[in-house]
Amino acid sequence: MSGGYVIVEYNELKQTFPKFQSLLKAARDDLIANAEDAWKPLKFGGMTPKSGQFGESTIMPELFQDISGNTMDTWHQWFNATGHQTIMRGAAAGGRIYEDYKVALVGLAFLDKAIRVSEIRMQVSDRKLPRVNIEEAMAYEKPAVIFEDYFILDEETGFDLYAYVLSQGPQRIKIIGTQVNRIPNKMQTTNVGAALT
C-alpha cells in the first residue's frame, strides 16, 4: 500500500470522487474471486444465494468489536477513553474476522458532525498500515476516508483499527465496502444484532 487516501463528503461520495466506483468494483471482484477459490465448490449467488452458493451483503457491524470490546450491533459506539486506542477490531477471538465471512474494505465513514479522533491506523493480519491524519475531516459534515488501495479482511485473520481519540462520547464509524458470507443461513437470524457466529 502506498498510503494514499482522499477525504470526501460521505453523502456526495459517488458524485465528487468518480474513482470510488471503480475501486469498489475492483475490491468486490477480488473478494468474490477470493471466496470462490477458498469456498469451492460454492459459486457466487449475490444477495439471494441458493443452495451451493455463497451470498453478498453490506458489511455487518456484528463482525467487529468496539472500543470497549463489545460486539457491535450498529456502527454506533461510545468512546470511554482518550489517547491512542483500539477503536474497532474483529469480533472473533484474538480480534479476528469470523470464519465463513470475508470483507472488502475501501474506506471509513464518520457519520457524526463531531469527530473525536485526529488520526487512524489499521492492521490487517500482520500487515501494519501507515497512520492517516484526518484532522482535515473535521471541516466536513459527514466525512469519508477512501483509501487508494482496498483491503480484503479474510476469514479468521486479524483486523484492528487504531485511533488517537481526542474526547470521550458517541461516535459512529462505518466501514465502507462489501462482504460475502459462506453460509447464507447465518445471515437470516431473527434476532437483530445477534452475533454472526
If you ran DSSP here, which 8-state letter would residue 98 be given? P
- pLDDT for 59-87, tens place per residue? 999 999 999 999 999 999 999 999 999 99
CA–CA distances in Å: residue 183 to residues 22, 48, 77, 78, 186: 28, 12, 28, 31, 6
pLDDT of residue 47 exceeding 50, the answer is yes
CATH of the domain at 170: 2.60.120
Confirm whether 26 is domain-assigned: no
Q: What is the pLDDT of residue 113?
A: 85
- pLDDT for 160-196, tens place per residue? 999 999 999 999 999 999 999 998 777 654 455 555 5
pTM flag (> 0.85):
yes
With a CB cutoff of 8 Å and minimum separation 6, the contacts of 175 are 59, 64, 75, 88, 103, 105, 107, 108
Lowest mean pLDDT among 13-17, 67-71, 142-146: 13-17
Maximum distance among all Cα pairs of the chain, rounded to whole angstroms: 49
Q: What is the pLDDT of residue 44?
A: 97
Confirm whether 104 is domain-assigned: yes
Give the pLDDT mean for 24-51.
96
C-alpha cell, 81: 477513553
Start-to-end CA distance of the chain, whole Å, equals 31
Q: How confident is the model at residue 99 (pLDDT cuts 50, 70, 90)?
A: very high
Confirm whether 109 is domain-assigned: yes
Confirm whether 94 is domain-assigned: yes
pLDDT of residue 134 exceeding 80, the answer is yes
pLDDT of residue 93 exceeding 90, the answer is yes
Give the sign of the dihedral formed by CA 89, CA 177, CA 132, CA 79.
negative
Confirm whether 29 is domain-assigned: no
Confirm whether 166 is domain-assigned: yes
Angle at 148 between CA 147 and CA 151, to 5 degrees: 65
Domain count, the chain: 1
Range of the domain at 90: 5-17+63-176
What does the alpha-carbon distance between residue 119 and residue 3 come to, in Å, rounded to a whole number? Answer: 13
Lowest mean pLDDT among 80-89, 103-112, 121-130: 121-130
Confirm whether 37 is domain-assigned: no
